Structure formats: C-alpha cells, structure tokens
Amino acid sequence: MSVETEKKVIPIPQIGGKREPESNRRRLSPLWASLRRSPVGMIGLGIVCLLLFLAVFGSLIVPHDPVDGNLRARFMPPGFTSEAGVNLLGTDQLGRDIFSRIIVGSTVSVMVGVVSVLIAGSIGVLLGLLAGFFGGWVDNVVMRIADGLLSIPFIILVVAVSGILSAGLGTLILILGLTGWVTYARVIRGEVLKVREMEYVIAAYAIGQSRVRVMLNHILPNVISTAIILAASQVGVTILAESSLSFLGLGVKSPTVTWGLMLADGRQYINSAWWMTTFPGIAITITVLGVAFLGDWLRDVLDPNMRGRG
Amino acid sequence: MYGLFVNRMIQMVITLFIVSMIVFFMVRLKGDPISVMAPPTFNTEQIARLREAWGFDKPLLEQYTIFITKAITGDFGQSIQARRPAMELVMERLGNTYLLASCAALLGLVLALPLGVMSAVRRNSLIDVVSSAFAALGNAMPNFWLGLMLIIVFSVNLRILPAFGALEPAAFIMPSITLAVGTAARLSRVTRSAMLEVMNQDYIRTAYSKGLSNRFVLIKHALRNALIPIVTVFGLQLGWLLGGSVVVESVFSWPGLGRLMIESINVRDITVVQAGLFWFALSFILINFIVDALYVYLDPRIHYR
Amino acid sequence: MNRKRFTTLLVLVFAVFLSLQPLAAQDEVTEFVFAHSGPIRTMDAPVTWFGSTHWLTNGLYDCLIWRAADGNGYVGQAAESWENVDDVTWRFKLREGLTFQNGEVLDAEAVKWNLDRVRSREDFLVYPQWQFIQDVVIVDPLTIEIVTVNPHPYFEYDVSYNGCQLLPPDYMAEVGEEEFARRPIGSGPFKLVEFTESDRYVFEAWDGYWAGPPAVDRVIYQVIPEQSAQVAALLAGQVDMIPAVPRPDRGLLEGSEGISVVEETSNRITSFYLRVETETGAMNETYPDFQPATLNDNVRLAISHALDRELLADVQGSAQPRLSRVCSYYPEGFAEQYADPEAVAAWYNPDLSRSLLAEAGFADGAGPTIYLDAPTFQFGNEKEVAEVAAAMLEEVGFNVELNILDASAYSEQITSGGNNRDMMLTTLGCSPSLVPTFYTCEWTQANYNVCVPEWDALGKQILTTVNPEARLDLWGQWWETYVNYAQTITLYEINSVIAYNSAEFDFTPRKDGWFTFRDLKPRQ
C-alpha cells in the first residue's frame, strides 16, 4: 500500500527468534526509524494510538452523558446548542449526544478487534501448525472442517451461532474468535509445509530433537511473523464484522454503546436524521483505515517478500 | 486430469456433508421454532402440544437421520412457516442473489482491471495514488454503511434511484455498487502487483524491445500472464460477494437468498435455513472448483503436477 | 483494456438490465401498493397466527362474520344473519348462491368442514383458540348451528378470530395442502394472482364476489422491511401506503403534496409483566436461588407509580397512555377511568413510589436491583421505551439492570423460555375476550402464573356472564385488582401512524389496526 516504503531497503528485525534481552533496544530503534520513513505507517500509528486512548479514557472526557439523553432534544442536527452545551454531531432518537457516543463506542471496537483476533489467532496457529506438521488424518480433518466453515458465508455462520449463546459483548467476541481461525489455520499450514522441508529443520531431527521440540523451537518461530501480519489485517476485518452484526441486530445489545448499533438505530431515520448514520460510519472507516495502514507497515517491515502484494 | 476431477468431487461431497452437520446441529441448538412461532399468550400446555405435533420433541440424532436420508434425495422438508417445500422457497430467491452478485462481480472487474493495470503501468503517478486511496477506503468502509449513504444521497435527497427491491433495472445500481466496492478495492491491488511482477520479467522487456506497440504488449502478454493471481482472488471474492449479499440485501430490502436466510433464522424456520445454507455452500464449492479448472487452462504447467 | 471494448461491455450490461424489466402496463386498472414490513407467512390461513399475514388472507377469504371497521360490532360475510338461540347455541344463516373463486359451492357443509378443521388440527397455531366449540350442526344447506362448551360472552369475537377463514374443501382435497399453499383459493373479494413468498403478493378484484367486486382492481402487498425505505418508496411513488411512519419523518411526509398522514389505534398495548412467583419457566434453573424484588406487593406498586406513561408514550412515537390492557374502543377498557389523561398523569407519583419502597424496606436511594428484559423492536421502539423506563425507575431509587434482546431471541429466552427475573416488556393484542383467562390460577405460561383466589373467581365469572351490563360491572371490579396488584403494568395503547397517497385513494383506517383494503376507494 505504501508507495514510500517499497523503494527503500529496511533493516529487518527478527521477531520471535532466540531471546537475547540486551538487544531489545537495538531491535526497537530500526523499527522506529522505518516508521519515521513511512508517513502512512505514522498516520496508522496515530489513529490507532488515538483509538486506544479513547477506548481507555473516553468515558472520562465525553462532553455529554452517552447513555442518558435529553428527551426534549431528540433528532437535533449537528451543531445544536442548548443549555447543556453543543451537540457537535447532533443527537439521536433519545436525545443522546452522538459525538459522546462515538467516543465511548470505541471501547467495544478495540475490545472486539483485539480479543477476538487473539482467540482466532491462537486457535488458528495451533491447528495450522498441527495440520501442517503432522499431515495425514490430522491435516485432513482440520482442512475439511476449514473448508466446510469457509463455504458458509461468514455472516450467516455467525448469525446461526449467535443464537445459541445469549447475546452480548463477550459472546460476540467469542463467536468472532471461534469462527475466525480458519484463515490463520490455512495460511500457517502452508507456511509450515514450506518450512518443514528446510535444511535446518532436517538438521534438527538429525541431532535427535523430538518432534514437539522441532515444532516449537524451529518451525513456530519461522511462521509466527506471518501470523502477526495476518492478525494485523484481521483486526480491521473483525471490527467490520462486529459492526455488521450489531447492525443486523445480532451482535452487541443496548445499552452498550457501539458504532454498529448506532448505525442500526440511525438506519430507521435516514430520511430525516442523516447524521445518525453518517458519523458512526466515518468513525468505523477511519479506525479500520488506521489499523490497515499500521498493518501494511508492519508487513513491509516483517516480511519483505510479501511487500507490494494484495 | 481425470483423477484430479474425481478427487475433487469426493472432496466436495465430504465438505457438503460436514456443512450439513454443522448447519443442522447449529440451527437445532438455537432452540426450537415453536417458541418463536407460538403467540406470547400461549400457555405451557399449548406449547408442549404444538411441539409434539411438529415432531420437535424427538431426540436430535433421530431428527438428523431423518433429515440426511431425505436430503440425499433432494428433499429438504417443508418450510414450517410457509407450508411449502423449503427448497422451493430457496429457488425463488436464488436468482435474485446470483444476479446481484454477478452484477457486482462484473462491476468490480470492470473497475478493478483498468485501475490496477494503469496504476502498475504509471507507477507512482496520480492515478496510482488515487487508486491506492480508493482501495484503502474500499476495504475500510462497512459496505452496509456505504449502502445507507447512497440511499441518503440518491433516494432521499435526489430521489432518482429506488430505495428497495429488485423490480426495475434502476434498483440494481445501488446494491451492485455497494457490493462491488470491496471487491474492486481488493482486485485492483492484486492486479497492480501481479502486473508489476510480470512487467519485470525478461520476456516482456524482450517484447518491448522487438518494437511491439505498448498497448498490445500489455494486453497480450502482461495481463495474460498476470491472470493467475487475479483469477484466484476473484474466485475468493465471488464467494465473499455471495456472503456480503446478506447484509446488502437487508439494507436494500432485496428479495434474495440472504434476506430469506436472515428472516428464516429470525423465525427459526430451520428447514429453510438448512436448504439455503446448502445452496450457499454448494455455490461456493463450485466456484472454487471452477477457479481450479481455470488454473489448468491459464497455466499449462499445472498439468504435470 | 481497450476503451472501445470497455464501452461495449458497459452497453451490454445495461442492455441486460433493460431486458429484465417487464414492459410497464399502461392500462386503466387502479393499482394500490401497500408497503408491508414482513415477513408474510402461509396463505393457508388457519395455520398461522400472525396478524400481519392475516391482513392479506382477509381479502382472499371470507369468514362467517367479521369485526366492523369502526370497532363497533360485527358484519356478516358468508353469513347473512346470525342469532343467539340459547346460552350455548348460535345459528348462522348463510347468503344464498355463495361460491368460492373457483366456482365450488360455499354452503353449510363447507363451513362445517372448515370449523372442524381448525378445532381438530393440533399442528395449527390457532387450534387452542377454537376449543370453545363443542359441536357444529348442519340444519339445512344454508343454516348452521355452533354449540359452545360454556355460555360464551365473547362468541362473536372468537368466531371471527384467526382461523375463521373459509377454504374450499373439495379443492383442498383435490390438490392437497402443499399445492394449496402455492395456489390458494378463497371466497373473498380478492383473488391471489401471483406471489413470491414473503416478498410480493398481487391480488386482483374478483367479479363474482357476493357484494360486487371491490373498487380497486389490484392490491399489491410489497414487503419492504426497512421503515426508512418504505418512506423513500412512498415519496418516490413506488408504493401508495406505509403502515408506520418513523417519528422524525412525519413532518417531511405531511409537507409532501398528495400524501396524507393519519393516526389510528392499532389494537396493541404495551405492558410490563412482573414476577410474582418463582415457579414458572427456566428462571429457577438459570438463576438458582434468585429472589425477585417484585415478589413484594409494595415494590410492584412502586414501579407502577414511578413510570411517567405520558413520556413513555411519547418515546414510543404515537400512543395513548393508559392503565388497563383492553383498548379504548371496547367498553371493557373503561377508557374514561383508565385512559383519561388526568387520571393517568395522577397515577405517576414518584413520591408515593419512594414511600412505597421505604415501606418495603428500601430506604432513600437504596432501592432493590431490578432486572428488566426488553426486545429491541416488536411493534414500536421497545428498546428506547425500556431505556427511558429504566431511567425513571432509577430516579426513585431502583437499580436497573437492562437486558435487551432481538425479537426472536426475546421470545425464545424470555417469553417462551421464562428466564424473566423481575420485569419484562411485552406488546400484546387488546381485545377483552381472553384477558381474564390469563389471570386465572390454571393459566401457566413460562413467564408467569398469577393466582389471586378472589380475582381468579371474578375472572371466571366474567367469562360466563352473557348479560352485557352485569359483565361490565364485574369488569369494573376486576380492573381494581389489576392496577393495584400490579403484576401487569400497562403503559400505553400504540397508534398506527399511516401515510398514504391521498391524491389517488380515499382511505379510512380500521380501528383494529388491520390493513385490509376491502373498502378502499380510488379518488375520482
């Protein structure tokens, strides 16, 4: 994505290799240097930092109460001023300040993005590793289940699962995690297949290391950067999935504030109150953009081979 | 070649079987349709009688055996709500969903190929930057939100496009665009990088040096050779378009399979959900199969594997 | 890519679009399109219970008798006249020469077949509602008698209830139920000429209808799930009527030329159900040892007095605040007493609420924790109403835990599952016929069972008292217990806000909220 970074040769830090504590600083500074050379990466970092800040401290700095509205000021357009102050981005159907709700809504996006990607990533890496390493029936079972899950549209799959458990933020995170592992499993399996034929892996066997040791010490470290790149790209996908589900009424439930839910609320009123749908959507777009920018930069740094692709 | 085909067929059947299991138990675990069907004023006794009359009191495994033996013969059972065969309802809607997905796919292709090729040829030019921005935005926007924004502009304010349904050609425009943007974004990126890679190869340079016209070289040689990754991603995107149609159909009140699925899940009309998911899965698997077949056509080397 | 080819491709795509469109019909038929929020279930009418499906079946089928549009009494459809022969027998005289739309004769035998079908088929949702019938006796081809199990004061209401639709028995026997659901035939003023399930239903006027064909030639029910899309479609002239106008759009529509907005009662009442026992439903297993605060009489009454119904009705959009759960146009609703704005306003009394809480042992601000379940959207902004109601309860000292679920999960887990702990929000029909039954000791739903012996006796007495005046007296006493026992706390009666193409159509909404278009007329 970044036009700048493609032309430059960037020192590639080795992540997940042998641990040598004293080299921490040495490893971080080239990272920082490369970031400074990538404006897109910087923008991404900026957006992500702002998002994290809002997610943690947002509820302390909001201008209005995001949950209790002023029923006398319903459907007020952006810039509406009352004795309670300015509603910068207007108010919703219960007279709640949309700006404040967008700020508070960032918490859910961050939590969903981070936690469900962690869950999906862990499951996917583990299964991919097992499938690729052991092959045979393990591989067959994992990959057939993956095919099965992949051939049902993601949204429908989640819709069908979501009803089993009672709705809520925790459930949603779990669902997104439990259904999202397929991508990781497939990619990691492919990587493992490549790596396990490498000379140093064969050498490790030759010196008598056990299969589990080879897997953990020699194969895992070599595929983990791929997993990180993938995870970075999946954060955005997950945030979008959360908003779609909440929009369809299948995700997080009120009174929790989320952008997807705000869109669902506003959808009924788009003929008269465009601000209710416009601003939460912009918030989602900017967030996903930021995460994607940061992810692109990370990919350029971690994996020069993948640079410039997709 | 023949062996490959048979092998793929067997895999397809296994995958479909697994899908049927996942779907069946997922949908049953959700609870039984009776509790959603019955009016809120029914008492416990009345509900219990209904449950028995509809056969939802049988053990799950027994229900599954009945389901799978019938499904093999193409009988997916009766819709609980409509009292007609579930497959019939799915078929009524299938056309609309395929039509929408095809329009979006075509639109995505028409947008992405020129954009990708041009930004590869004129690297770092204005068009490359614009197409980068388009791709980034296209990936980051929730598509249902884009749909709502289009409705606000074109239906509510300008009043030139219908906000719902599939009754007239104009009704195709907004849903297709909404659905196509994400695909176009991804595809244009792939096209660009595939073109860049091919253009650096020796034979393209040779072709240039032989004095062939610029455009001819590009189309004939470079694009032809860049097609493999493009086809792969396009194939994946087709499946994604089918899935994405669920949300877009809901935004535009599109009478397609996706909306039928959501409605059926909401009223727990499980036979329809099973039949619909079966079609989604079958379509997806067939698309993958066709993509694989195209590989063989595009890249003769695959024969020898 | 070659630009010329590119253009050719675009032209081709466009050509495909155009060829898909059926040629627009330019004839003189008057066509009326109604935006239905969906879903629409089967056209095999007695199978289903959903009111919004019966808006369609109502045009297709005649019943024996049917509720009058103004909510006042009943009108004959297949029956020309009917009378109460004794306490348990009703005699219907059918119109002469009636046929179904396929020419099949509609006589006493056909009527009996239909009534026996709905009261014997256990898989029909309407089955329980027809158990009041003991026997159906054919007197002659045009006369039929219905014998009820007990004296039945609400006989006319129940006999015109869902499932009353008359289907052609011979045709049904010939084609079977599955094919019937594909090509249904009735004896009503409209024939169903084509439909896509839960999407678009095209009805055409039937020349052979006994009262003459309806004034509008073609009525189309078009499913548009999104309210906002409905509004846009009305503004664009794609539909002629929408059943629910979102609040902020009202001004927009009222200001549009050729569009009128009317408001009418919708036959729906929104209430809270409170837990008065811990036996019913899954609550016991899901939340072992949970003791609902609402078991306490004073806590329940405190909740009732803490709710500003006027404000809640306003949040709903358009509704009339009230205290009893029978609609205003039924005398049993006691509108002058329980829907009177001043009386309702006086009932809202936060101070009384606080002192009731203190009496229940909860001193200032340290009220009990109340779990409040609500659906996102059932019939009108339930989620918003629950949120505002929660704020009102917290105002007097309650601590409210809100649980909001989408409509189907709500009925699965709360209504039919019985996982409600303290309070649940629900919107129900409002006819008086069944109401007392719901509060008798034998009536156990998953989400509640009320058993107050004197009240139970009073309810049973209402249901067997045929004399209208005596019955109303009993109702008066019955409501006393209802509002003070506060197991069900009624908030308001929902109004439909309807917008329609008044340039072309002359429309008067029905009191019961049904969108049937038998009486619709084109404007000259």
The DSSP symbol for C23 reads P
Contacts of C125 in chain B (CB under 8 A): 37-39, 50
Task: Please state, rounded to an integer, the average pLDDT across all residues of chain C.
Answer: 91
What pLDDT was estimated at residue C172?
96
Q: Which residues of C touch B85 (CB under 8 A)?
A: 178
Which of A68, A249, A268 shows the shortest C-beta gap to C246?
Answer: A268
Task: pLDDT band for A262, please (50, 70, 90 cuts).
Answer: very high
- Cβ burial of A157 (10 Å; 0-12, 13-18, 19+) is buried
* CATH class label, A38-59+94-306: mainly alpha
Q: Measured between alpha carbons, how far is A93 from C134 in angstroms, rounded to an integer?
A: 51
**C249: chain A residues, CB-CB within 8 Å:** 269, 271-272
Sign of CA dihedral A220, A223, A229, A235: negative
Q: Examine the pLDDT at A263 and tell me if it is beyond 80.
A: yes
> Does B80 map to a domain?
no
Q: What is the pLDDT of residue C331?
A: 92
Considering only CB atoms, which chain B residues are within 8 Å of C196? 92-93, 255
pLDDT, average across residues C31-60: 89
> Is residue C175 a contact partner of residue C183, using CB atoms and an 8 Å limit?
yes
Sign of CA dihedral C254, C256, C257, C262: negative
| d(C-alpha A50, C-alpha A94), whole Å | 28
Residue A266 DSSP SS3:
helix
Return the SS3 of B129.
helix
* 8 Å CB contact between A74 and A94: yes
Long-range contact list for C18-27, CB < 8 A, 24+ apart? C18/B169, C20/B169, C21/B168, C21/B169
Q: Which residues of A touch C402 (CB under 8 A)?
A: 254-255
**C180 to chain B, closest Cα gap in Å:** 9
| Contact indicator for C271, C428 with CB cutoff of 8 Å | yes
Q: Which of C128, C408, C415 sits opposite B267 (nearest CB)?
A: C408
Structurally, how many domains does chain B consist of? 1
- Does C14 have pLDDT greater than 60? no
Q: What is the dihedral of CA B77, B78, B80, B81, to 10 degrees?
A: 140
Residue A163 is classified by DSSP as T
Residue A278 token pair: 């416009």
Q: Which two tokens stand for residue B20?
A: 């049927």
- Cβ(C405)–Cβ(C376) under 8 Å? yes
Peptide bond into B142 cis (omega under 30): no
Given strand C143-148, what is the order of strands in its sheet? C79-86, C89-94, C143-148, C133-140
Kindly report the CATH number assigned to the domain that includes residue B109.
Answer: 1.10.3720.10
Distance to chain A for C392, nearest Cα, Å:
11
Residue B65 included in any domain: no
Percent of chain B with pLDDT over 70: 90
pLDDT in tens, C67-96: 999 888 999 999 999 999 999 999 999 999
**Contact at CB, B84 and C42, closer than 8 angstroms:** yes
pLDDT at A94: 92
Judge whether C249 and C485 are in contact, CB under 8 Å. no
Q: Specify the pLDDT at position B213.
A: 65
Over residues B156-212, the pLDDT tens digits come to 888 888 888 888 889 999 999 999 999 999 999 889 988 888 877 777 777 767 766
The backbone region for C188, taken as left when phi is positive above 0, alpha when psi lies in -120 to 50, beta otherwise, is beta
* Count of CA atoms in the C-beta half-sphere (13 A) of C514: 23
C-alpha span between A198 and A190 (Å, rounded): 14
What's the pLDDT band for C120 if we cut at 50, 70, 90? very high
Q: Is residue B123 part of a domain?
A: yes
The percentage of residues in chain C with a pLDDT greater than 70, rounded to a whole number, is 95
How far is Cα of residue B44 from the mean position of the Cα atoms in its chain? Answer: 42
Q: Which residues pair with C274 in a beta bridge?
A: C423
Asked if C53 and C41 touch (Cβ cutoff 8 Å), the reply is yes
Per-residue pLDDT for C359 more than 80? yes
Helix (H) or strand (E) holding C305: helix C297-306
The answer to whether the CB of C186 falls within 8 A of the CB of C100 is yes
- pLDDT value at C32 more than 60: yes
Does the beta-carbon distance from C383 to A254 stay under 8 Å? yes
pLDDT of residue A167: 63
Closest CA to C204 of C53, C26, C29, C40: C29
Q: What is the mean pLDDT of residues A58-73?
A: 89
Average pLDDT over residues C299-316: 96
Instruction: Determine the average pLDDT of the residues in A118-145.
Output: 90
- b/e map of B85-113 (b: 16 or more CB within 10 Å)? bbbbbbebbbebbbbbbebbbbbbbbbbb
For the cut 70, the answer to whether the pLDDT of residue B288 exceeds it is yes
**What tens digit of pLDDT does each residue of A178-216 get?**
888 988 998 898 888 888 888 888 888 888 888 888 888
Q: Are residues A30 and A11 in contact, defined by beta-carbon separation less than 8 angstroms?
A: yes
Cβ within 8 Å, pair C384-A250: no
Distance in angstroms (rounded) separating the CA atoms of residues B37 and C133: 24
Q: Minimal Cα distance from C162: which residue of B?
A: B39
Cα separation, C316 vs A266, in Å, equals 16
CA–CA separation, C378 and C372 (whole Å): 16
DSSP-derived 3-state class of residue C313: helix
Sequence-distant (≥ 6) Cβ neighbours of residue C405 within 8 angstroms: A166, A167, A253, C373, C374, C375, C376, C413, C414
Give, in order, the Cα–Cα distances in Å from A96 to each of A71, B264, C311, C328. Answer: 8, 34, 16, 33
Residue C319 has a pLDDT of 95
Bridge-based pairing of strands C65-67 and C74-76 is antiparallel
B222 touching A, CB under 8 A?
A: no
CA distance, residue C121 to nearest chain B CA (Å): 9
Cα separation, A248 vs B246, in Å, equals 10
Report the C-alpha gap between B171 and B151 in whole angstroms: 11
What are B126's two structure tokens? 């204005």
> 3-class DSSP state for residue C137?
strand
Which residue range forms the structural domain that includes residue B113? 94-256
Q: Tell me, what DSSP letter sits at residue B172?
A: G
Please give the Cα distance from A76 to B23 (Å, whole number).
45
B287 pLDDT band, cuts 50/70/90, is confident
B234-252 pLDDT, tens digit per residue, is 887 888 888 888 889 988 9
Task: Choose the mutation target among A65, A169, A272 for the interface with C, i.e. most C CBs under 10 Å.
Answer: A272
Q: Which residue has the higher pLDDT, B105 or A8?
A: B105
Assess if residue B191 is contained within a domain: yes
**pLDDT for residue A36:** 79
Q: Is residue B135 in a domain?
A: yes
pLDDT of residue C107: 96
Average pLDDT, whole number, for chain A?
82
Q: How far apart are alpha carbons B281 and A289 in whole angstroms?
A: 31
Kindly tell me the burial class for residue B175, based on how many C-beta atoms sit within 10 Å of its own C-beta (0-12, 13-18, 19 or more): buried
Q: What is the pLDDT of residue A11?
A: 41
Question: For residue C463, which amino acid is it?
Answer: L
Measure CB to CB from residue B140 to each of A154, A236, A309 and give the nearest one: A236
- A46-56 burial, b at 16+ Cβ within 10 Å, e below that, comes to ebbeebeebbe
- Band the pLDDT of B297: cuts 50, 70, 90: confident
> Hey, what's the torsion of the CAs at B24, C415, C413, B279, to 10 degrees?
30
Whether residue B208 lies inside any domain: the answer is yes
Report pLDDT for A3: 35
A118 in C contact zone (CB under 8 Å) = no
Contact C217, C31 (CB under 8 A): yes
**Given this model, what pLDDT does residue A296 score?**
86
Tell me phi and psi for residue C402, to 5 degrees.
-90, 135
Res A202: pLDDT: 83
C247–A166 C-beta distance less than 8 A: no
pLDDT tens digit sequence for C314-338? 999 899 999 999 998 899 999 999 9
User: Which of chain A's residues have a Cβ under 8 Å away from the Cβ of C315?
Assistant: 71, 94
Partners of B257 on chain A (C-beta within 8 Å) are: none
Which chains, if any, share at least 3 CB pairs under 8 A with chain C? A, B
pLDDT digits (tens, 9 = 90+) for A26-49: 556 777 777 778 888 899 999 999
Q: Which residues contact C517 (CB under 8 A, 6 or more apart)?
A: C32, C34, C59, C214, C216, C219
Question: How far apart (Å, rounded) are the C-alpha atoms in residues A213 and A161?
Answer: 36
Instruction: For strands C218-223 and C200-205, give the pairing.
Output: antiparallel
- Written as six digits, the tokens of B280 are 């989604």
Cα–Cα distance for residue pair C136/C92, rounded to 1 Å: 11
Arithmetic mean of pLDDT, A112-127: 93
- Is the separation of the CB atoms in B148 and B251 below 8 Å? yes
Average confidence score pLDDT of chain B: 83
Q: Which chains touch A (3 or more CB pairs under 8 A)?
A: B, C
Going from the N-terminus, what domains does chain C have, and what CATH number goes with each? 31-35+173-265+497-522 (3.40.190.10), 62-168 (3.90.76.10), 267-495 (3.10.105.10)
Nearest to A279 by CA among A144, A103, A143, A160: A103
Cβ atoms of C292 and C460 closer than 8 Å: no
- Alpha carbons within 13 angstroms on the beta-carbon side of residue B180 total 20
* Residues A152 and B273 sit within 8 Å (Cβ to Cβ): no
Note the pLDDT of residue A143: 85
